[in-house]
């Protein structure tokens, strides 16, 4: 698209006529018509006025270069969606592990659920790579406490030589799990708060 096409596109997207644009930039309607039909090009002063009016850069009007802010905003939105998706995948994986263990009591169900959680972790790091934006405190905290639920439960089951399951299955492992998990929740909360304030 050339200058003429960009001016016409911006005008139409704004929903104004050639005459209204002419009034905004201080020229005649014929001048705008000539710009859009490639018979002439606007002078620099008019380009600046149009860029301010349409909320784009002069580079966009003159060269068609997309403003960096728009691409950064797209990356920001994508990364925020991925951050939220990471928490969703971790949660889905956790509940899938609970469900499959409850019905089948097989290690395959746990491994399958952990793969879903790995997808969540991957989504989180992809979001960090594509954008400079950070995940919110709540997303970071939920990811930690949801992501550590199964590993803590499995480690405690191994230590106490109990049935390896994604959640505690008796009072001894349940008590040990509750103590360690509560400590993990509190420590992760204060650690993230401290990092957020730095």
pLDDT per residue over 122-138, tens digit each?
A: 999 998 888 777 888 99
Record: fold of 3-63: 434 Repressor (Amino-terminal Domain) (1.10.260)
Q: pLDDT band at residue 152, thresholds of 50, 70 and 90?
A: very high
Residues of the chain with CATH 1.10.260.40: 3-63
Rounded percentage of the chain residues whose pLDDT exceeds 70: 94
Q: pLDDT band at residue 165, thresholds of 50, 70 and 90?
A: confident
Q: Which of 191, 74, 99 is nearest to 140 (CA)?
A: 191
Q: Which of 36, 28, 39 is nearest to 10 (CA)?
A: 36
Any long-range contacts for 73-78 (C-beta under 8 Å, 24+ apart)?
Answer: 75/130, 75/131, 75/133, 76/131, 76/133, 78/127, 78/130, 78/131
For 76-102, the pLDDT digits (tens) are 688 889 999 999 999 999 999 888 888
For 54-83, the pLDDT digits (tens) are 888 888 888 877 655 555 556 668 888 999
Q: What single-letter DSSP state applies at residue 131? A: -
**Residue 123: per-residue pLDDT:** 92
**Residue 27: per-residue pLDDT:** 93
For 3-25, the pLDDT digits (tens) are 888 999 898 988 899 999 999 99
């Amino acid at each position: 698209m050339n200058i003429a096409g960009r001016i016409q596109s911006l005008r139409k997207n704004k929903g104004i006529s050639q005459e209204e644009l002419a009034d905004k930039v201080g020229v005649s309607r014929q001048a705008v018509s000539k710009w859009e039909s490639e018979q002439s090009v606007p002078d620099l002063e008019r380009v600046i006025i149009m860029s301010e009016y349409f909320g784009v850069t002069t580079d966009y009007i003159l060269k068609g270069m997309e403003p960096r802010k728009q691409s950064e905003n797209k990356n920001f939105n994508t990364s925020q969606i991925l951050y939220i998706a990471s928490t969703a995948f971790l949660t889905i994986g956790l509940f899938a592990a609970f469900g499959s263990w409850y019905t089948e009591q097989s290690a395959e169900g746990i491994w399958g659920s952990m793969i879903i959680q790995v997808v969540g972790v991957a989504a989180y790091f992809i979001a960090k790579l594509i954008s400079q934006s950070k995940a919110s405190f709540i997303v970071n905290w939920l990811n930690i406490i949801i992501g550590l639920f199964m590993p803590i439960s499995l480690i405690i089951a191994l230590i106490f030589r109990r049935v390896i399951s994604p959640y505690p299955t008796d009072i001894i492992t349940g008590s040990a799990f509750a103590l360690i998990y509560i400590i993990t929740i509190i420590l992760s909360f204060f650690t993230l708060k401290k990092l957020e304030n730095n």
